Amino acid sequence: MKVVHVSTYHRFGGAAIAALRLHHALRLEGVDSALLVQDSDRPESDVAAVAEGFFSKKIAFGRFVAERLYFSLKEKDKSLRFHFSPLWTGTDISTHPLIQAADIIHLHWINFGFLSLRSLEKLFSLGKPVIWTMHDMSTFTGGCHYSRECQHYLTHCHHCPYLKHPSTTDLSYRVFEKKSQLFQKANLTLVSPSKWLADLAQHAASTRHLPVYAIPNPIDLQVFKPENTKDELGLDPHKKWILFAGVNTQDPRKGFAYFKAATHLLTDHAHEWGVVVFGKTSPEGLNDLGLEVKSLGSLPAHEVTKVYQAADVMVVPSLEDNYPNTVIEAMACGTPVVGFDTGGIPEQILHLRTGYVAQLHSAEDLVRGVRFVLENENYTSLSEENVKIVAQRNAFEIVARQYQRLYDKCV
């Protein structure tokens, strides 16, 4: 059986990383798997890029710019520019050799100018089984990646809160209408890493007629495993370190404001606890956290693993999220996680068993979670439980075999 995974990016972003890991996991299980991306950032066997030459890469970038410009004319404000995908422009991959040879076409995150609604129509017209792993809500909405409080997708998108001029037949209405028409005729099966998103897809008007499964993201336990790396990163080994991964202080969805409020409630441990961050950071946003801050900036993948291994707890205060890779990465390294009760996060963290699930929008409960972990007299057992749960649920072979059974069923 030949499977081709389709993803906008090769290694950039959580959805791309999840797709790449699944591709690797399947190959280790003997599946003839390939990955087709818009633009690869490095050569890799069994990974092909649609945009290979200089000019084709420029064209691909032009599609991305064109779609963002198109949406910018309709967006409510520019803070939402990358939170809505109208699938307005894209490329036709239906004739690509990997697609033609595949028995299963496996879609992942295909936005930002890679595939359009017309591209999807051509793929579906091949009649081959298509599996679509949903990494956010955009598969079944009129374009938004997360709907926030809006529930129009349950009936029909319209009056979209992301748009400057919402109306009964606005952009979200038109995109939703076209998706609904395409999905009626498609040989399509949906998968979500979280039961939360799978349940939403089962109730969404555009996808409720489709089969939907929940299969978690995989993780390589040969890479993510417990080690003591504080000294390597220059962290005081006598302190306990609170990790905030992938910091983006400009995106309210990431909940940095709640993290900052929480650290100010932990100053009674200022001499014993510190904060370590990596990723897209705003220096001014880290100036006043009430605790010592060690900012590591953007890191290569092998260095990121060391940060998980060095941290004593990770806090994930996202207000909307599906199934963050960062959570299972930390857990696999034996680092307990504290996160809000939202999206698929409470499925990843087993409350009071591997970490702490805090009340949404409550910095005070985040603090209770951090204290539960760092003041836990059974911290070693807590850490070991994280490693055990991830091995049982997210190991490469566990996830790959679930997808193999689904592939066999679809074929």
Query: Within a 10 A sphere around the Cβ of 146, how many other Cβ atoms?
Result: 18
Among 212, 400, 243, CA closest to 309: 243
Q: Which structural domains are found in the chain, ordered by start?
A: 2-218+395-410 (3.40.50.2000), 240-393 (3.40.50.2000)
Pick left, alpha or beta for residue 255 (phi over 0 → left; psi -120 to 50 → alpha; otherwise beta): left
Neighbour order of strands in the sheet with 130-133: 47-49, 32-39, 2-9, 104-107, 130-133, 188-192, 212-214
Among 177, 170, 283, 305, CA closest to 233: 305
Whether the Cβ atoms of residue 350 and residue 336 lie closer than 8 Å to each other: no
Kind of pairing between the strands at 104-107 and 313-316: unpaired
Residue 283, pLDDT score: 60
- Which SS3 state, helix, strand or coil, does residue 225 take? coil
Residue 299, pLDDT score: 84
* Close Cβ partners of 191 (under 8 Å, ≥ 6 residues apart): 131, 132, 133, 134, 198, 212, 213, 214, 215, 403, 406
CA distance 323 to 325: 6
- pTM exceeds 0.85: yes
Residue 57, pLDDT score: 87
Q: Residue 355 forms beta bridges with which residues?
A: 351
Q: What are phi and psi of 46, to 5 degrees?
A: 70, 15
Whether the Cβ atoms of residue 40 and residue 49 lie closer than 8 Å to each other: yes
Q: What are phi and psi of 39, to 5 degrees?
A: -150, 120
Residue 53, pLDDT score: 82
Per-residue pLDDT tens digits for 180-212: 999 998 999 999 999 999 999 999 999 999 999
Residue 379, pLDDT score: 96
Q: Residue 6 forms beta bridges with which residues?
A: 36, 107
Counting as low any pLDDT under 70, the low residues of the chain are 246-250, 281-285
Burial of 155 (0-12, 13-18, 19+ CB in 10 A): exposed
| CA distances to 89, 166, 167, 205, 209 from 174, in Å | 15, 12, 11, 14, 20
Torsion (CA) 158, 214, 115, 168 in degrees, nearest 10: 0
- Which SS3 state, helix, strand or coil, does residue 130 take? strand
Whether the Cβ atoms of residue 104 and residue 191 lie closer than 8 Å to each other: no
> What are the structure tokens assigned to 307, written together?
């940060």
Amino acid in the structure at residue 11: R
Burial of 151 (0-12, 13-18, 19+ CB in 10 A): exposed
| Distance linking the first and last C-alpha atoms of the chain | 9
Residue 375, pLDDT score: 95
Residue 7, pLDDT score: 97
Residue 75 DSSP one-character state: B
Among 377, 322, 388, CA closest to 350: 388
